[in-house]
A and B are shown apart, each in its own frame.
Chain A
Amino acid sequence: MTAENALTGNVRRYELSVLPKVTVTDRTVPSVALTGDLAMPLGLRLAGQVFWRDVSQVTGRVA
């Protein structure tokens, strides 16, 4: 991107807002974008509540 902007006039924006992160532990921890705590200072109103789902309740995981 730096190279492209150097050659074409800064038209591209460095954008990491949808950068997924994975900690490859057992169990793994993936994450992408905002947490609720990060969203609220940005003036975003959370729609509904934050859900935590016990994976033992997910059919595919029980199988």
Chain B
Amino acid sequence: MFVYVAAYGGTVAAENALTGNVSRYDLTALPKVTFTDPAVASVGLTEDQARAQGIEALVSKLPLAHVPRSLAARDTRGFAKLVADAATRKIIGAHILAVEAGEMVTEPALAIKYGLTIEDHTSTFHPYLTLSEGIKLAAQTFDRDVAKLSCCAAWAPTEGS
């Protein structure tokens, strides 16, 4: 990850040197992974960091015991936690403890980079029996108890869709 960040920083520095400081060095959507077992992956703000910045934070925390893939793999250790801005419902942080947490964190990283909302996640199909489904279920957890949903009641449309 140091290599990617250094390459990014070098690119921004070179561009700014040649084009007049128009590019901004922005690490708000930088994912971090600790390769433990289970792994720890994180991107964006924690709820404490959000509140320290004056953001009213919504938090959802989904134990992996609610993710079908984790149940099938008989490894339900961990959770997926999402943090959203209450005013805009945009995702601003994700913190995951899971066997493949590093593979799961890219979706919330994209969400943070491109300003996706809770509803953008819940209205997007996620493949069944994958850990990435845990991100969608975590997004649904903001507004409902996913333990009470059947597998097929997961659809949550965006406004106007």
Contacts and interface: CB of A to CB of B under 8 A. Distances in A.
Nearest to B126: A20
B129 A24 contact: yes
Q: Is the interface of B mostly helix, strand, loop or mixed?
A: loop
Contacts of A19: 125
B125 A20 contact: yes
A1 B160 CA distance: 12
A45 interface: no
Most buried by B among A12, A19, A21, A22: A22
Interface string B117-129: 0000000111111
B125 A30 contact: no
A42 interface: no
A1 B155 contact: yes
Contacts of B125: 16, 18-20
Interface residues of B, number: 12
A16 B7 CA distance: 37
Interface residues of A, number: 15
A11 B161 CA distance: 8
B161 A13 contact: yes
A15 interface: yes
A1 B126 CA distance: 17
Interface in B55-99: none
Given A16-B125, A20-B125, A22-B127, 14 more contacts: A1-B155, A1-B157, A4-B157, A11-B160, A12-B157, A12-B161, A15-B161, A18-B124, A19-B125, A21-B127, A22-B128, A22-B129, A24-B129, A30-B127
Closest 4 CB pairs of A and B: A22-B127, A20-B127, A19-B125, A20-B125
